[in-house]
């Protein structure tokens, strides 16, 4: 019998989400906005440990609005993590700003705080500081905000936290998303919780979040007729999707626990196998382990990350390369990069393994066996 296909990070929904979705449906609140949007916003703000949240059509929309709210515009520089999904950098392009890509710290894979500090000091000396710094919490692990904020505060540069992958993670006991001026979440289908598509912008600044809601509803003025003094966007999340999100959010801690358990099973499975290293977890926080990522030393293991991915594909198991750093992307070939060797190395050797919170122990065991067999297979071909 053919084995069932194992996906990288499929949605994990159940009766609670179904019930809430039908409640929204039956109430006829199908239009954007409604009671589930209000409820989801309040619950998300609480989950991020901040005062306010605006739910939106995507995490990318949230990034776009965060940059606009900080007044980032044409020609401004925004410094960001090179090792990320393209949405982070695209949002910088949307506002006409210029991205500058900063390399990762090999201890966390996130934006390197020392490199940032060094370069900000050099930029300050030249009078050419960025307008904002956009930091990514990669694969569910928070960046080192104490160190990042201390240098950014010194130069009064606002920081945005791209926590699209990190809902449910913590940094020194504080929740991801609430660690900088603005936090961004994504509820895209592959994330730790999903609304099929959606996102949120969170902050303590009530006025800013109110303005995000305004901009996300076509910047319609608060009068009876359709009055517009500036350009806005159609970025709101629908009440139906917010209902799904509320059901998902209630199970967030279980989802984090499940993904961490899956990571641990992989770790145990590869313990005796040299040449495979797990993505490190910094001692300052707890990752949500959105994706389990391994780093493969081809010489020692006997197969490369790419070989493993192809072997898994033949066994109906989906694995993916890690993000290709932004400074290597053709679309950003003109952009300045600060360092780059660490993320380039990770790109060459990293692999994301199936990590969905509904994965069974048997399924993870199947993936482990398939990974280990990649070395054997390749060895056999020599
Ligand atoms: C780091 C990061 N930022 C932003 C996004 C964009 O979120 P969305 O797909 O909801 O627009 C994603 C994922 O999709 C992401 O992984």
The CATH number covering residue 304 comes to 3.90.1150.10
Determine the straight-line distance between the first and last CA of the chain, rounded to whole angstroms: 30
Determine the pLDDT at residue 379.
64
Q: Are residues 107 and 159 in the same domain?
A: yes
Determine the pLDDT at residue 382.
42
Dist. CA 343 → ligand 1 center (Å): 18
Dist. CA 184 → ligand 1 center (Å): 9
Tell me if 169 is assigned to some domain. Answer: yes
Q: CA–CA separation, 343 vs 350, rounded Å?
A: 10
Determine the pLDDT at residue 34.
86
Nearest CA to ligand 1 atom 8: 59
Dist. CA 186 → ligand 1 center (Å): 6
Q: Are residues 86 and 200 in the same domain?
A: yes
Q: Are residues 331 and 369 in the same domain?
A: yes
- Of the three residues 251, 274, 298, the one that is the final residue of a domain is 251
For the CA of 199, the closest atom of ligand 1 is 10
Tell me if 6 is assigned to some domain. Answer: no
Residues whose CB is less than 8 angstroms from the CB of residue 39 and which lie 6 or more positions away in sequence, other chains included: 242, 246
Dist. CA 219 → ligand 1 center (Å): 24
Determine the pLDDT at residue 1.
53
Pocket perturbation via mutation, ligand 1, pick of 186, 189, 241, 352 by most ligand atoms within 8 A of CB: 186
Contact by Cβ (8 Å): 308, 298 = no
Q: Are residues 230 and 151 in the same domain?
A: yes
Nearest CA to ligand 1 atom 12: 164
Residues of the chain below pLDDT 70: 1-2, 379-382
For the CA of 62, the closest atom of ligand 1 is 11
Q: Are residues 235 and 273 in the same domain?
A: no
- Of the three residues 207, 226, 251, the one that is the final residue of a domain is 251
Residues whose CB is less than 8 angstroms from the CB of residue 85 and which lie 6 or more positions away in sequence, other chains included: 164, 323
| Tokens (6 digits) for 20 | 């809430």
Q: Are residues 121 and 183 in the same domain?
A: yes
Residue given tokens 């009068």 in the structure block: 223
| Tokens (6 digits) for 204 | 């303590």
Beta bridge partners of 80: 101, 134
Angle at alpha carbon of residue 209, lines to 204 and 228, rounded to 5°: 160
Dist. CA 109 → ligand 1 center (Å): 17
Tell me if 5 is assigned to some domain. Answer: no
Helical H segments across the chain, by residue range: 15-26, 35-48, 59-69, 86-94, 113-125, 145-154, 206-215, 239-249, 252-270, 298-301, 305-314, 341-349, 361-381
Q: Are residues 160 and 280 in the same domain?
A: no
Q: Are residues 211 and 311 in the same domain?
A: no
- For position 83, which CATH number holds? 3.40.640.10
Q: Are residues 247 and 266 in the same domain?
A: no
| Tokens (6 digits) for 226 | 């359709």
Long-range contacts for 283-287 (Cβ within 8 Å, ≥24 apart)? Answer: 284/142, 284/144, 284/146, 284/171, 284/172, 285/141, 285/142, 285/169, 285/170, 285/171, 285/172, 286/169, 286/170, 287/139, 287/140, 287/141, 287/142, 287/166, 287/169, 287/260
Tell me if 87 is assigned to some domain. Answer: yes
Cα–Cα distances in Å, from 286 out to 13, 49, 175? 24, 16, 9
Number of structural domains (the chain) is 2
Pocket perturbation via mutation, ligand 1, pick of 60, 99, 137 by most ligand atoms within 8 A of CB: 60
For the CA of 188, the closest atom of ligand 1 is 10
Q: Are residues 229 and 216 in the same domain?
A: yes
Tell me if 3 is assigned to some domain. Answer: no
**pTM of this prediction?**
0.97
- Of the three residues 251, 273, 295, the one that is the final residue of a domain is 251
Tell me if 9 is assigned to some domain. Answer: no
Tell me if 245 is assigned to some domain. Answer: yes
For the CA of 58, the closest atom of ligand 1 is 10
Pocket perturbation via mutation, ligand 1, pick of 188, 197, 198, 216 by most ligand atoms within 8 A of CB: 188
Q: What residues flank ligand 1, with Cβ below 6 Å?
A: 58-60, 84-85, 87-88, 136, 162, 164-165, 186, 188, 199
Q: Are residues 104 and 217 in the same domain?
A: yes
Tell me if 365 is assigned to some domain. Answer: yes
Residues whose CB is less than 8 angstroms from the CB of residue 105 and which lie 6 or more positions away in sequence, other chains included: 111, 112, 113, 114, 115, 144, 342
Q: Are residues 211 and 303 in the same domain?
A: no
Among 130, 129, 200, residue whose Cα is nearest residue 162 = 200
Dist. CA 60 → ligand 1 center (Å): 6
Pocket perturbation via mutation, ligand 1, pick of 83, 137, 165 by most ligand atoms within 8 A of CB: 165
| Tokens (6 digits) for 138 | 């990669």
| Tokens (6 digits) for 320 | 């993916």
Which domain range does residue 285 map to?
Answer: 253-381
Among 378, 373, 356, 357, residue whose Cα is nearest residue 8 = 356
Backbone dihedral angles phi then psi of residue 365, each to the nearest 5 degrees = -60, -40
């Amino acid at each position: 019998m053919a084995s069932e296909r194992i996906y990288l990070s499929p949605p994990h929904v159940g009766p609670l989400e179904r019930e809430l979705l039908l409640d929204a449906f039956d109430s006829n609140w199908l239009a954007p906005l409604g009671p589930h949007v209000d409820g989801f916003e309040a619950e998300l703000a609480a989950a991020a440990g901040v005062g306010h949240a605006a739910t939106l059509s995507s995490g990318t929309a949230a990034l776009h609005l965060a940059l606009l709210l900080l007044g980032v515009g044409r020609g401004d520089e925004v410094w960001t993590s090179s090792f990320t999904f393209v949405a982070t950098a695209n949002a910088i392009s949307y506002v006409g700003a210029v991205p500058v890509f900063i390399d990762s710290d090999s201890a966390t894979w996130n934006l390197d705080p020392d490199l940032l500090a060094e370069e900000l000091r050099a930029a300050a000396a030249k009078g050419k500081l960025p307008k904002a710094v956009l930091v990514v919490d990669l694969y569910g692990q928070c960046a080192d905000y104490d160190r990042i904020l201390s240098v950014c505060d010194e130069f009064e540069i606002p920081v945005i936290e791209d926590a699209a992958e990190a809902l449910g993670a913590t940094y020194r006991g504080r929740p991801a998303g609430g660690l900088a001026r603005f936090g961004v979440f994504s509820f895209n289908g592959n994330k730790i919780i999903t609304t099929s598509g959606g996102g949120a912008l969170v902050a303590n600044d009530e006025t800013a979040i109110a303005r995000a809601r305004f901009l996300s509803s076509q910047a319609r003025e608060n009068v009876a007729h359709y009055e517009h003094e500036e350009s806005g966007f159609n970025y709101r999340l629908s009440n139906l999707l917010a209902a799904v999100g509320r059901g998902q959010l209630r199970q967030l801690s279980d989802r984090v626990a499940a993904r961490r358990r899956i990571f641990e099973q992989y770790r145990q499975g590869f313990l005796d196998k040299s040449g495979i290293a797990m993505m490190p977890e910094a001692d300052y926080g707890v990752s949500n382990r959105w994706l389990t990522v391994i780093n493969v030393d081809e010489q020692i293991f006997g197969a490369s990350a790419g070989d493993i991915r192809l072997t898994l594909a033949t066994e109906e198991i989906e694995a993916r390369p890690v993000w290709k750093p932004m400074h290597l992307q053709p679309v950003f070939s003109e952009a300045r990069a600060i360092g780059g060797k660490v993320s380039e190395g990770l790109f060459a050797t990293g692999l994301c393994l199936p990590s969905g919170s509904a994965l069974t122990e048997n399924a993870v065991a199947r993936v482990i066996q398939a990974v280990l067999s990649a070395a054997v297979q390749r060895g056999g071909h020599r």
